[in-house]
Amino acid sequence: MASFETTMEAGTAMNETVKDAAASAAAVMPVGHETKISATKVSVFYGEKQALFDVSIDIPARQVMAFIGPSGCGKSTFLRCINRMNDTIDICRVTGTIAIDGADIYDPKIDPVLLRARVGMVFQKPNPFPKSIYDNIAYGPRIHGVAKAGSQMDEIVETSLRRAGLWNEVKDRLREPGTGLSGGQQQRLCIARAIAVNPDVILMDEPCSALDPIATAKVEELIDELRERYTIVIVTHSMQQAARVSQKAAFFHLGNLIEVDETERMFTNPRDQRTQDYITGRFG
């Protein structure tokens, strides 16, 4: 497996890997056993207030890991540590280490801008740019110099939209604004936008909470397909969703990581009382 750092340096060659990255990677690796992301004693402070306490967790490659827990438990905060989005908040401070493919992403040598090209993110509310569908997808590849306009870019746009299951719905109106799509389509557009820069990891922060059940089902189906190629971490409030899409689950409570396990086992046989209370709906 290509190390995290080499893929980052290979920025300009990224486009070539768009199509066959998954194929070659899948050939090298058995599905979802080694650790992709490894966090050790991660704590997060907002000013004086500590929001996350010594979280250590290993996230396996090419699986879906669900973060569950009541509101304000720190699961989104932890998610935003993985692509250093917390850096954009002035008062936020992170301690501990998070390693992706063995390289610490909080190492001063790591450029958070390049890191975010390798760790994509999808947000709670669909946030397409007020640009055309095409330009929304092309934005990432363009800023990273992956492809100039032309057939190469057309190919990336098509591949990304196909992977996001949106191609057939939008192929005839690529020049129309992305904001004109329905909520579910917008969210899949945002997923396609994240895929277009060919990340290793996709973080999803409650990606379905603003969607109706039908759009939610489509996005969940998509998440299940994407796990062949990408490591996915999803924050969700819906226990059913966690059960449907994830292979592993982590339960957060009051800024602490309480329990990590196979999703099935956690939902049938939780080890911690608080986990049991939460998944049976006693609080949260």
Partner 1 sequence: MSATSLLAIVLILSLIGYLWGRASAASLKSTGQGMHSIPAYHGYFIALSCGIPAFLLVLVWLAAQSTVIDTLLIAGLPAHITDGVETSRMSLILSEIKSIAGGRIFGTPDPALIAAAERYNALRGTASLAMVVAALAVAIAAMSFARSRVSPEFRARNRVDGILRWILIVCSILAILTTLGIILSLVIESMAFFSRVSVFDFLFGMEWSPQIAMRADQVGSSGAFGAVPVFWGTIFISAIAMFVALPVGLFSAIYLVEYADKRVRSFVKPLLEILAGIPTIVYGFFAILTVAPFIRDLGTSMGLSVASNSALAAGGVMGIMLIPFISSFADDAISAVPQSMRDGAYALGATKAETVRQVLLPAALPGIVGGVLLAVSRAIGETMIVVMAAGLMAKLTANPLEGVTTVTVQIVTLLIGDTEFDSPKTLAAFGLGLVLFITTLALNIVALQVVKRYRERYE
Which residues of this protein are in contact with partner 1, per CB under 8 A? 83, 85, 88, 90, 113-118, 120-121, 123, 125, 127-131, 139-140, 143-144, 190, 193-194, 197
By beta-carbon proximity to partner 1, the closer residue of 108 and 130 is: 130
Question: Minimum distance between the CB of residue 189 and partner 1, rounded to whole angstroms?
Answer: 11
By beta-carbon proximity to partner 1, the closer residue of 14 and 258 is: 14
Of 67, 7, 18, 11, nearest to 196 (Cα)? 18
Q: 118 near 203, Cβ under 8 Å?
A: no
By beta-carbon proximity to partner 1, the closer residue of 201 and 279 is: 201
Question: Minimum distance between the CB of residue 124 and partner 1, rounded to whole angstroms?
Answer: 9
Measured between alpha carbons, how far is 225 from 141 in angstroms, rounded to an integer?
22
Question: Minimum distance between the CB of residue 283 and partner 1, rounded to whole angstroms?
Answer: 29
Cα dihedral 251→254→255→259 (10° resolution): -20
Q: 227 near 220, Cβ under 8 Å?
A: no
Question: Minimum distance between the CB of residue 71 and partner 1, rounded to whole angstroms?
Answer: 19
Tell me the backbone φ, ψ of residue 38, rounded to 5 degrees: -130, 115
Q: 208 near 217, Cβ under 8 Å?
A: no
Question: Minimum distance between the CB of residue 121 and partner 1, rounded to whole angstroms?
Answer: 4
3-state secondary structure labels for all residues of 32-69: CCCEEEEEEEEEEEECCEEEEEEEEEEEECCCEEEEEC
By beta-carbon proximity to partner 1, the closer residue of 62 and 193 is: 193
By beta-carbon proximity to partner 1, the closer residue of 123 and 167 is: 123
Of 157, 148, 161, 81, nearest to 121 (Cα)? 81
Question: Minimum distance between the CB of residue 141 and partner 1, rounded to whole angstroms?
Answer: 9
Lookup: tokens for 137: 């997808």
Measured between alpha carbons, how far is 274 from 276 in angstroms, rounded to an integer?
5
Question: Minimum distance between the CB of residue 79 and partner 1, rounded to whole angstroms?
Answer: 11
By beta-carbon proximity to partner 1, the closer residue of 64 and 117 is: 117
By beta-carbon proximity to partner 1, the closer residue of 204 and 279 is: 204
